[in-house]
Amino acid sequence: MSKEYLLLDKIEGPLIFLSRAEDVSYGEVIDITLDDGNKRRGRVIKIDKDAIVAQIFEGSSGFSVVNSSVRFSGKPFELPMSKEILGRTFNGIGEPIDQGGNIFSKDVYNVNGRPINPVARKYPRNYIQTGISSIDGLATLIRGQKLPIFSGNGLPHNEIAAQIVKQANISEKEGEEFAVVFAAIGVKHDDADYFRKTFEESGVLERVVMYINLANDSIVERVMTPRCALTAAEYLAFEKNMHILVIMTDITSYCEALREISSAREEVPSRKGYPGYLYSDLASIYERAGMMKHKGGSITFLPILTMPNDDITHPVPDLTGYITEGQIVLSRELFQQNIYPPISILPSLSRLMKDGIGEGFTREDHPDVANQIFASYSKVQDIRALAQIIGEDDLSELDNLYIKFGRLFEEKFIRQDFDDNRSISETLDLAWDMLSQLPKEELERIDPEMLGKYYQGKSGK
């Protein structure tokens, strides 16, 4: 029979402070019963002699310093896992919120996970065809990669994620099982509903595990949401050998929740008020993606974040970019030109792409083509800047060809319908169509042999 503590010292935001607690361990879960019978849960986040600080998952409203009884469970925050979670919907701390009842299993997992030993990792090398040209061609998604979408408010990041869920070949071979783990972190009802509808339409709903923390739910729960989702993903991938696609939106809300708790704890802030440990904290989430030796499954991780004020140097996208293996950046400019998907290819990058494309993976010409498009399209930007000043009429002949290439590239290659599913060879052929607008001599990044084989334009001179 564990002790009950009936008196709190202080309540601040989602945190409670109490003293004279005995035998409390760091990180353990506490159960609180309010005088009206309402039950809450929380977690110990600091121990100082016999005084403890705990955060309450559901928030502290309704608490007074005398109306609650606190009981220490002696256990860290754990979730039971079984394959029954497929098709189910949970709240941010892993409690079922559909009508399916509780998950019963003797396999319980600490939601914080443990760091994967780098020697146990398997380097991801197999590409996932998403059917979206600008991703497959230029920022190829690799199975086991963590590739975030850097978006802005109002940009169609949800649609892109939905299109990937719909079109991507998540499982490696026929017969291998796949599943989608979806975590909504502080998003609007509409966004959560949109995803639910998409999963339903693409017929994967019974293979989706959802963890939902809406914008008006508690922020402490919000901090636990990605951890619960990744615990489920790790269980399915590494215990059940399934290929998992994790979609998480919106990481910015997560970081804001972390900041809110940090400021309630009166910690020393670093950039823009975010806590100094934001990098380590984000890493403890992102690094849970990957593949492991001797385990069949994989976790491919597609987090979505909205850049405040479209600023890529804001701490959230900045620190994310330092941890993840590349990023897909959306552009407001393309969006305003009515181009879907508005993927800004120059800052977009897939770090694992170099080992997962080319001969034996996609097609022999893929690396050179991607390289050339980056180089040529970046030149288009310079020429456009020039044309703004001197006018398009005064551009040289070659510059005009570049302008034309740029326009066609955006209209034909980047632009793609929501239900247009292009194969990798379609994507690469399309890229050659675009590059063939330019004289052969301009294509310096491409091996002459490939040029001979694929180039369809005419030589400059």
Partner 1 sequence: MIELKGIITMVNGPVLKATSMTGFKMREMVMVGGKKLIGEVIALEGDRGTIQVYEETEGLKSGESVISTGKPLSLKLGPGLIGNIFDGIERPLLEINSVSEGFIPEGIGLLSIDTEKKWKVCITVKENDVLREGQCFATVEETSLILHKVLVPQGMSGKVIEKKEDGFYNIEETLLVIEDDEGKMYPLRLSHEWPVRTPRPVKERLPISSLLVTGQRVLDIFFPVAKGGTAAIPGGFGTGKTMTQHQLAKWSDADIIVYIGCGERGNEMTEVLEDFPKLIDPKTGKSIMERTILIANTSNMPVAAREASIYTGITIAEYYRDMGYNVAIMADSTSRWAEALREISGRLEEMPAEEGYPAYLPSRLAEFYERAGYIKTLNDQEASITIIGAVSPAGGDFSEPVTENTKRYVNAFLGLDKKLAYARHYPAINWLNSYSGYVKMLGNWYEKNVNEDVLELRAKMIRILHEENKLQEIVQLVGEDVLPDDQRLILEISRVLRIGFLQQNAFHKDDTFVPLIKQYKMLKCIELLYDKAHLTIKKGVPISKVKNEMLFGEVTKMKYTVSNDDLSEIDKISEKIVQYYDDLIKEYG
Query: If binding is defined by CB under 8 A, does position 100 make contact with partner 1?
Result: no
SS3 assignment, position 240:
coil
Q: How many residues does the chain have?
A: 461
Q: b/e map of 428-448 (b: 16 or more CB within 10 Å)?
A: bebbbebbbbbebebbeebee
Stretch that binds partner 1, among 100-108, 111-119, 151-159, 216-224 (CB under 8 A): 111-119
363's CB contacts (< 8 A; 6+ apart) are 424, 425, 428
Question: Footprint of partner 1 on residues 290-319 (CB under 8 A)?
Answer: 290, 292, 294-295, 313-315, 318-319
Binding to partner 1 (CB under 8 A) within 213-242 occurs at: 238
Check binding of 453 to partner 1 (CB under 8 A): no
Query: Toward partner 1, which CB reaches closer, 64 or 378?
Result: 378
105, 110, 126, 263: which one binds partner 1 (CB under 8 A)? 110
CB of 148 to partner 1, least distance (A): 11
Q: CB 180 → partner 1: shortest distance, Å?
A: 22
Closest separation in Å from C-beta 311 to partner 1: 9
Residues in 60-89 that interact with partner 1 by CB under 8 A: 76
Query: What is the secondary structure of 351-380 as a DSSP string?
Result: TTHHHHSSTTTS-TTHHHHHHHHHHHHHHH
Provide the angle, in degrees to the nearest 10, between the axes of the packed helices 189-201 and 157-167: 20
If binding is defined by CB under 8 A, does position 25 make contact with partner 1?
A: yes
116 is a contact residue toward partner 1 (CB under 8 A): yes
> Cα(425)–Cα(422) distance, rounded to whole angstroms?
8
Burial of 405 from C-beta contacts in 10 A (0-12 / 13-18 / 19+):
buried
Among 106, 385, 393, 458, which residue sits at the site for partner 1 (rule: CB under 8 A)? 385
Strands 243-249 vs 178-187: parallel, antiparallel or unpaired: parallel
Site stretch for partner 1 (CB under 8 A), options 55-63, 218-226, 282-290, 426-434:
282-290
- Rounded Cα–Cα distance for residues 376 and 460 (Å): 16
Stretch that binds partner 1, among 58-66, 184-192, 209-217, 266-274 (CB under 8 A): 266-274
Count of residues in contact with partner 1, rule CB under 8 A? 84
Q: Cis bond leading into 250, ω under 30°?
A: yes
CB of residue 142 to partner 1, shortest distance in Å: 10
